[in-house]
């Protein structure tokens, strides 16, 4: 049985967006008592647009990472805010934007017998525990805070596993995807 080339291409085209969309896990929280409808303008936090925090190795340089990522993040947020109908403020802004890029390493392990109940005699499993699975992954979290007079009124958090051998274009695409997916959920449905 031969499958036409167009059928294979269509199947790949349908599968790729779902694989790309699964890379970034997005969560949003907001102040339910805050009215987002009159919000029309925004500006960066006067203390700076954002920060980079790193906790991977002793050689981490958050300042160098900030210099590399800030232009990408600022451009992506500016474009997304315009798509959401928010304009840059010329006076006092309705919303103040701050971002945080958090880079860490996470580890999880499973041991033999980890999910079995303990024996009644001593509370120990009937065999010696041994590691059966270990996963060490570089993880990145990207946070966008939108603040108004009472404080932070909307916060979006995007998390993804980061491959250390990924090229700069892949990392830039991941940052842009995180911004787009987060701000797609603004304004919140109340």
- The DSSP result for 166-184, as a single string, is --HHHHHHHHHHHHHHHHT
CATH number at residue 84: 3.30.160.670
pTM greater than 0.85: no
Does 13 map to a domain?
no
Does 149 map to a domain?
yes
Average pLDDT for 83-111: 87
Does 113 map to a domain?
yes
Does 100 map to a domain?
yes
Does 37 map to a domain?
yes
Whole-number average pLDDT of the chain: 80
Does 31 map to a domain?
yes
Query: Where in the sequence is the domain holding 97, given as residue range(s)?
Result: 24-183
Quick: pLDDT tens for 23-47.
789 999 999 999 999 999 999 999 9
Does 164 map to a domain?
yes
Nearest to 146 by CA among 189, 83, 93, 68: 93
**Residue 46 and residue 152 in contact, taking contact as beta carbons nearer than 8 Å:** no
Q: Would you put residue 85 in left (φ > 0), alpha (ψ -120 to 50) or beta?
A: left
Q: Which of 11-20, 130-139, 173-182 has the lowest mean pLDDT?
A: 11-20
Does 40 map to a domain?
yes
When divided into structural domains, the chain yields a total of 1
Banded pLDDT at 125 (limits 50, 70, 90): low
Does 114 or 153 have the greater pLDDT score?
A: 153
Q: What is the pLDDT of residue 186?
A: 93
């Amino acid at each position: 049985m031969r499958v036409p080339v167009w059928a294979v291409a269509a199947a790949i085209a349908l599968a790729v967006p779902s694989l790309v969309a699964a890379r970034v896990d997005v969560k949003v929280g907001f102040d339910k008592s805050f009215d987002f409808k009159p919000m029309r303008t925004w500006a960066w936090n006067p203390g700076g647009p954002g920060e980079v925090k790193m906790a991977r190795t002793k050689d981490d340089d958050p300042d160098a990472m900030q210099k590399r990522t800030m232009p990408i993040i600022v451009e992506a947020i500016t474009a997304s805010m315009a798509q959401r109908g928010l304009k840059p403020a010329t006076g006092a802004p309705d919303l103040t934007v701050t971002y945080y890029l958090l880079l860490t390493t996470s580890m999880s392990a499973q041991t033999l017998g980890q999910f079995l109940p303990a024996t009644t005699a001593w509370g120990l499993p009937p065999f010696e525990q041994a590691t059966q699975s270990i996963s060490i992954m570089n993880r990145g979290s990207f946070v966008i805070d939108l603040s108004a007079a009472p404080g932070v009124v909307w916060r979006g958090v995007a998390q993804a596993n980061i491959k250390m051998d990924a090229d700069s274009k892949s990392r830039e695409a991941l940052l842009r995807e995180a911004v787009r997916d987060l701000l797609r959920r603004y304004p919140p449905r109340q």
